[in-house]
Amino acid sequence: MKSFLVIGLGEFGKSVAKTLYKNKSTVLAIDANEELIKQALNEGIIDDAVILDATDEIALKNVVKDDFDMAFVSVGDNIQASILITLHLKDLGVKDIICKAVNHTQGRVLEKIGATQVVFPEESMGEKIAYSMLHPTIIEYFKFSEDYFIYEVKIPKSYIGKSLMELNLRHKYEINILAVKHGDGKMNVTPDPNLRLDKEDVLIVLARENSIGKIV
């Protein structure tokens, strides 16, 4: 079982901790705010938490005694704190450190001092909201590689009743269908080419960003 350290229980940190914990990972949460710790414990989001100022190197060292597979530093609003905590974690030998940042300048600094990856939650959320307005049939998407995205797409009306073979999306638009999610929630990860699509179905596809607009 993997073990994770989550420092900072704001909205981003809380979401990270909850997701990891729900997926049966060992999670230790740290925050200087006692109320945030109590709230997370009461909601059952985590079962192990410490009230601690993580910028205090000695205090952090006393807590981070075990090996953690990864640490999430989600105190991006406090730039000085995020830098100090990242430095401390690096000195403590934590190999993978994911840091939240509020801007790209902060992100570059965090990368230079040892952050494995920097994320910009507010920027990503703004991008997704704008994208959903442009393409209402796209439910969710994320970047799979430099050139490709994975999209969860509602079935266009023109696709209802047609088979995957008839649509031939791979040949026409270089769009690969990875799975079909049916209205009852069941996921078909090996869809038959002769499967005819229902209006409640959702397609999970792999496509270039400039290709997805051809079907949504």
CATH number at residue 82: 3.40.50.720
Residues 13, 115: one domain?
Answer: yes
- Give the chain's length: 216
Q: What percent of the chain has pLDDT over 70?
A: 98
Count up the domains in the chain and report the number: 2
Dist. CA 45–CA 33, nearest whole Å:
16
Q: What is the CATH number of the domain that holds 184?
A: 3.30.70.1450
Q: How confident is the model at residue 196 (pLDDT cuts 50, 70, 90)?
A: very high
Give the DSSP H or E segment for 84.
helix 79-91
Q: Is position 142 within any domain?
A: yes
pLDDT of residue 154: 93
Q: Burial, 43: exposed, middle or buried (Cβ in 10 Å; 0-12, 13-18, 19+)?
A: exposed
Q: Are residues 26 and 64 in the same domain?
A: yes
- Looking only at the bridges linking them, the beta strands covering 49-51 and 176-181 are unpaired
Instruction: Fill in the DSSP letter of residue 73.
Output: E
Is the residue at 129 inside a domain? Answer: no
Question: Can you name the residues that pair with 7 across neighbouring β-strands?
Answer: 30, 73
What is the residue whose two structure tokens read 């009461």?
Answer: 42
CB distance 200 to 214 below 8 Å: no
Residue 209 domain flag: yes
Q: Using one digit for the tens of pLDDT, what is the confidence trace for 143-160?
A: 888 789 899 999 989 999
Looking at the fold, whether 14 and 98 belong to one and the same domain comes out as: yes
Residue 180 lies in domain: 135-214
Angle, in degrees to the nearest 10, between helices 34-42 and 11-22 = 30
Q: Quick one: pLDDT band at residue 22, thresholds 50, 70, 90?
A: confident
In this prediction, residue 40 carries a pLDDT of 93
Is residue 211 very low, low, confident or very high in pLDDT (cuts 50, 70, 90)? Answer: confident
- Say if residue 25's pLDDT is above 80: yes
